[in-house]
Structure 1
Amino acid sequence: MLSQKAKYALRALMMLAEAAPEELVLVQEIAERQNVPKKFLELILLELKRHGFVFSQRGRGGGYCLARPADTITFGQVIRAMDGPLAPLPCASVTGYRRCADCADERTCTIRKVMRRVRDAMADILDKTTLADVRGGRVDEDLLATVA
């Protein structure tokens, strides 16, 4: 399940993607327009900065902007940065694999196989969807067809 932290991070990044390149947006403005608690948003933006998604400038005229073009930042990258692996089970994860302690035979485990398909389907959509794809509330028709 998508955490509130990841959801807020995506909201903030989508708002920054709508701004002109290198236009700095104040934390307060993001918090108000996206209905995100300011203190929580500040922590999220620091983490996004640490992962190279945003640039910040302090002081008068300061704020946040995307650190790279919106068409190079995918939903999958952001969610992994905020929440970790996409897989619903550690044994189905590509980036955070861990064997389940209660699994007798991982190769024949039906639950693992299904959860791996779920992970792969999610990754396929999230890793192909960029901030530019959804800028201004627009969603590509191909993406909608994939989800439907």
Structure 2
Amino acid sequence: MLTKKGKYGLKAMLHLASHPPGEPSLVSDIAEANNIPKKFLDTILGELRNAGFVNSKKGKGGGYTLARSAQNIRVGHIIRVLDGPLAPIQCASKTSYRRCDDCFDENHCGVRLVMLDAREALAAVLDNRTLAEMRAAAESNEITLSYVI
């Protein structure tokens, strides 16, 4: 499940993507426009800055901007930075795999096999959708299915 941190991070990134490249946005403006608590947003934007998704500038004319084009930012990458792996359980994760303590044979574990499928379906959508596509979908109020299960 997407946490509030992940959802707020996506909203903030969409906000930044809606501005001309290089035009900074103040944290207070992003928070107010998206109904996000400012203190929480400060933390989220700090994590996104550390991960290389946004740049920040202090002082007059400062604020946050996207560090690269919205066409080059994948939604799945943002979520992983803020919320961690996409897999619903660790034994289905590609980046944070850990065998379950209670599993005798993970190759025949029905729970794991279904969660692997769920992880792959989620990654197929989130890793193939850019921030620019997400913004365009929001502006046109249209969602396109870009995967096949």
Q: Could you say whether these structures have the same fold, taking a TM-score greater than 0.5 normalized by the shorter chain as the test?
A: yes
User: 4+ runs of 1 displaced by more than 6 Å?
Assistant: none
> Identity of paired residues, percent?
52
Gap change, CA 1:42 and 1:139, over 3 Å in 2:
same
Instruction: Determine the structure 2 residue equivalent to 1:134.
Output: 134
Query: Shift of residue 135 of structure 1?
Result: 1.4
Instruction: Determine the structure 2 residue equivalent to 1:61.
Output: 61
Q: Secondary structure at the match of 2:144?
A: helix
CA distance in structure 2 between the aligned counterparts of 1:12 and 1:63, rounded to whole angstroms: 12
| Correspondence 1:103 to 2:103 | yes
Instruction: Determine the structure 2 residue equivalent to 1:113.
Output: 113
Instruction: Determine the structure 2 residue equivalent to 1:9.
Output: 9
Listed as ranges, the gaps of 5+ residues in structure 1 are none
Query: Shift of residue 140 of structure 1?
Result: 6.0
Letter in 1 for 2:144: D
CA distance in structure 2 between the aligned counterparts of 1:139 and 1:94, rounded to whole angstroms: 32
CA distance in structure 2 between the aligned counterparts of 1:98 and 1:53, rounded to whole angstroms: 28
Query: Shift of residue 142 of structure 1?
Result: 3.2
Q: TM-score, normalising length from structure 2?
A: 0.93
Instruction: Determine the structure 2 residue equivalent to 1:88.
Output: 88
Q: TM-score, normalising length from structure 1?
A: 0.94
Listed as ranges, the gaps of 5+ residues in structure 2 are none
Q: Is the 8 A contact 1:133 1:140 kept in 2?
A: no
How many residue pairs match? The answer is: 146
CA distance in structure 2 between the aligned counterparts of 1:12 and 1:94, rounded to whole angstroms: 27
Instruction: Determine the structure 2 residue equivalent to 1:125.
Output: 125
| Correspondence 1:42 to 2:47 | no
Gap change, CA 1:29 and 1:73, over 3 Å in 2:
same
